[in-house]
Amino acid sequence: MSTVSNAIIASYSSFNQRRYGTPWVCTMTPAGKYDFSQRVGTYTGDGYQGEEGDLIVTDPVVGQVYGYGQKDYRGNGTVKKFAKWDGEKFVPCDKIGQVKDG
């Protein structure tokens, strides 16, 4: 299996930058807490301009749970999602890495 250096965890259409923040990604601790202590990715669009782009995880780790999303500054539209890297792709899961069946 080859090593993947960058992987797309999510893609975003253009958005109203006055309402929505730049998409973000972080690792999750085994206890399901957000860990922003290390930079693990980047957004390819200009979030300050609301440009469309991809949310990239650099050097994803097999089994690591990542949290990602986008803040809504004006309402209840904030998005928070979780996925773990299986070596080839991101698999949706909960914040501690449990994959839902079906």
How confident is the model at residue 102, as a pLDDT?
57
Question: How many structural domains is the chain composed of?
Answer: 1
Specify if 100 maps to a domain.
Answer: no
Nearest CA among 51, 55, 59, 48 for reference residue 85: 59
Provide the H-helix boundaries in the chain.
none
Q: pTM score > 0.95 for this model?
A: no
| Banded pLDDT at 3 (limits 50, 70, 90) | low
101 assigned to some structural domain: no
Which residues in the chain belong to E strands, given as ranges? 6-12, 24-28, 34-35, 41-43, 53-58, 65-70, 79-85, 90-92
pLDDT digits (tens, 9 = 90+) for 60-82: 999 999 999 999 999 899 999 99
Express each pLDDT in 28-56 by its tens digit. Answer: 999 999 999 999 999 999 999 999 999 99
Q: Which domain holds residue 24?
A: 6-92
